[in-house]
Amino acid sequence: MKLSTRGKYGLYAMFDLAKHAGEGPRALQSIAATGVPKQYLEQLLGNLRRAGLVSTVRGAQGGYLITRPTNEISLLNIIDAVEGPIELSECTSDEHTCERSCGCPVRWVWQQVTDSINAELDKIKLSDMLIQPCESEERTHEKDHLHG
């Protein structure tokens, strides 16, 4: 089970835009300075724009702008935008793809997991990342008292 790089890159981009909020449009060039391939990032920013998380200004001196306060943007918003909705191998998304449907307990449990993951992703906001100090190493063993 793996999230693709899209989610990570999207998060980098949003994080960068959040840090430079209020400075006017930020060019792709600048955002990509974090190490993400420029033209690939452009695609992802397109997704973020269509999801309403960023807006754009075209033309010279143009660029990307974050549209909402950072505490109103969750990880779920970002990941949904760049990767599409979380989906556990067909069972949960469409009632008709699995002939077991109602009698199938796997279907029920899959739905539970999907809901849980979405809920967890929605708890973490972009603003949480901005205030996070440099101590990821020290807190790996006492990790579940912040949002749990």
Name which of 39 and 136 has its Cβ closer to DNA.
Answer: 39
Q: Which does 43 bind (CB under 5 to 8 A by kind): DNA, a second copy, none?
A: DNA
From residue 49 to residue 78, what is the string marking binding to a second copy with x (rule CB under 8 A)? Answer: --------------------------x---
48 and 81 in contact (C-beta within 8 Å)?
yes
* Residue 131 tokens, joined: 């205030």
Burial state string for 24-35 with b = 16 or more CB within 10 A and e = fewer than 16: ebbebeebbeee
**Residue with the two structure tokens 């990570």:** 8
Name which of 19 and 139 has its Cβ closer to DNA.
Answer: 19
Q: Which of 123, 46, 43, 47 is nearest to 85 (CA)?
A: 47
Query: Which one of residues 11, 18, 21, 57 is an interface residue with DNA (CB under 7 A)?
Result: 57
30 and 19 in contact (C-beta within 8 Å)?
no
Q: Which does 94 bind (CB under 5 to 8 A by kind): DNA, a second copy, none?
A: none
Is 131 strand, coil or helix?
A: coil
74 and 126 in contact (C-beta within 8 Å)?
yes
What is the contact surface with DNA in residues (CB under 7 A)? Answer: 2, 4-6, 25-29, 37-40, 42-43, 45-46, 49, 56-64, 89
What is the contact surface with a second copy in residues (CB under 8 A)? Answer: 1-5, 7-8, 11-12, 15, 75, 79, 83-89, 91, 101-113, 115-117, 119-121, 123-124, 128-130, 132, 134, 136-137, 140, 143-144, 146-148
